[in-house]
Amino acid sequence: MLTLASAGATTAGRTASSASDFQAQAPSSRAGNPVVANAPVLARSAPAGLAREPARAVAFVRDFNARLELPPARLKEKLAMMRESPAAMFRAMPSLFHADLRGPYAQAAKLVDRPAPDILVVGDAHVGNLGTFRGPEGKAVWGLNDFDQAGTASPEADLTRLAASAVLTAREAGLSSAEQASAVKALAEGYFQTLELLADGDANPGAFLTKKESSGPVKDLIDQARDTSAKDLLTKYVKLDGAKGPHFLHTDTLKPLDAARKGAVRAALASYEKSLQGSEGVAVPLRVLDLAERLDAGGSSYGLERDYVLVGAADPKAPPVLLELKELLASGVTSPPVPANGEGVVKAQQALAGDANPLTGAVSMGGRAFLVREVEPEKNKLDDAALAKKKALRSTFEQAGVVLARAHGNTREQATRLEAWLGGDTAEATKRLTAFAQAYADQAEADWKALKSAR
C-alpha cells in the first residue's frame, strides 16, 4: 500500500521533492533552514481506473506549498490558478507527476521492455513550456524554453509528461478520445523519426524550429514574434520617457522593491556582472535604471521571488534591456532531491537547447538560487484557441516531438544510445505512450476535482 508521507519544495537550500513511493521527508524552507513535516497517511485504495487515490494528490499539494512558505496572498492566487483546470494543476505540479512515475505509474510509463538509459531531461515538458524565443541567429524560433526542472532520468519522464499534456490540451478543446490519441501519436512520430535521423548523422541545430522548418500555428507564432520589437515589450512594463528617465509602471502585478530587497538585488547583480563578456548588448558596468517585483508569473514557481531589472543598453540610443531574476525550485525529477542550482540550470539549458541567450546567468540571494535572463520581446506561446482544432493540435505536438528528440539526442552518441534502447519497437512504444497519456489525464482530472472540492 502506498502512503503519502510528505512532499516538499525548496530553492537553493530549499529542496523540492517527493519520493519514489510518496514517502519522502524533504528538508525545506525559503530561508534555507531545514524543516521536516509529514502529511497525513492516506490508506484508501484508488478508484476504479486510477492508480492512485486523488486525495493523496491534495495532501501532496498542501505539503509542497506549505514548504515553500509563500505569502498567504500568493498561495491563495496559486491555488486559484491550479483550480482553473486539470491542465493548470498538472502544469503547476511537476513534482507530483515525477513522484507518480517513481510510484503508482512506474510500470505504465515504461515504453519498451528494455531499461531506458539515464540522460539529462527537461523535467517539465508540457505545451506551456514550448514557445518562441530569440534563436542563435537573432531571429525568433520555437522550441523548449524552460529548463528549471532539468535533471537526470529516463527519457520516458519527458515523453510521458508531454504526452499527458497533449491529451489534457485536447480534452480542454472538447476533442474526442481518438483525436487525443492522434495528438500523442503525432508527438511519438516526430520524436522517433527525428531520433533516427540524428542517430544516422543528421545535424542537430538545437531544440527549436526555425520559421522555415515549422508549420501551422507554430509558424504563425514565429511570424508574430518576429514582428514584436523591444519597444513593444517595454511599453507593457516601462514608461520610457519623462523627467525620471525610463522606469517601471507600477500596477497590481508590478510593484516597487523595498530598500532591503533593492540592496540584495543590486549585490546579486554585481556578482552577475562579473560573468559578462561585454558583448551581450548591455552596458558594462551595468547601469541599473529601475527595479520592481513581478507578482503574476510562473506555474510551479508561482509566488516565489521574481524581480525585474531595467538596465541600460550598450548602445545609448537603443531601448533599455529588461532582465528577470527568477527564484528556482529544485527539480522534482530525482529523489531524494538536491537544492536548486542556478549554474546547473544554465548548463542544462546549454546542453539540451544547444543555445542560450548570452545574458542568461545565475546568482544567489539569501541562500536561494536565481536564474538571470533577458525578458525577450520574441517570447510568446500558443494560446488555447490556437490548439482547439485537431489538425492544429496534431501539427503542434508533432513539432514538439521533433524538438524534444533534438534535446534528448543532443549528440550523435546520445541519439544512438536512445535508438538502441528503443530497438525499433516504436509501434509498441507509441501504443504504450498513448495508453499512459490517457490514463494519466484521467488521474489529473480526478486530482483536480479533489483539489477543487478540498478546503
Contact 35, 54 (CB under 8 A): no
Euclidean distance between the first and the last CA atom of the chain, given in angstroms as a whole number: 26
Contact 299, 91 (CB under 8 A): yes
> Do 330 and 371 meet the contact criterion of CB atoms below 8 Å apart?
no
Cβ count near 137 (within 10 Å): 8
pLDDT in tens, the chain (455 residues): 233 334 444 444 444 444 334 444 333 434 432 223 333 333 456 788 899 999 999 999 999 999 999 999 999 999 999 999 999 999 999 999 999 999 999 999 999 999 999 999 999 999 999 999 999 989 999 999 999 999 999 999 999 999 999 999 999 999 999 999 999 999 999 999 999 999 999 999 999 999 999 999 999 999 999 999 999 999 999 999 877 889 999 999 999 999 999 999 999 999 999 999 877 899 999 999 999 999 988 888 999 999 999 999 999 999 999 999 999 999 999 888 788 999 999 999 999 999 899 999 999 999 999 999 999 999 999 998 999 999 999 999 999 999 999 999 999 999 999 999 999 999 999 999 999 999 999 999 999 999 999 97
- Residue 369 falls inside a structural domain: yes
Inside any domain, residue 449? no
Within-domain flag for 292: yes
CB atoms within 10 A of CB 391: 11
Scanning 1-123, the segments in alpha helix (DSSP H) are 54-68, 72-82, 86-92, 94-102
Torsion of CA 140, 289, 273, 124, to 10 degrees: -40
Q: Has residue 136 been placed in a domain? A: no
At residue 44, the pLDDT reads 57
The range of the structural domain enclosing residue 280 comes to 228-349+360-374
User: Of the candidates 379, 248, 272, which has an alpha carbon nearest to the alpha carbon of residue 320?
Assistant: 248
Predicted confidence at residue 449, as pLDDT, reads 98
- Does residue 60 sit within a domain? no
Query: In total, how many domains does the chain have?
Result: 1
Flag whether 262 is in a domain: yes
- What is the C-alpha separation between 157 and 101, in angstroms, rounded? 7
What pLDDT sits at residue 49?
87
In a domain, 338, yes or no: yes
Q: Which pLDDT tens digit goes with each residue over 297-353?
A: 888 899 999 999 999 999 999 999 999 999 999 999 988 878 899 999 999 999 999
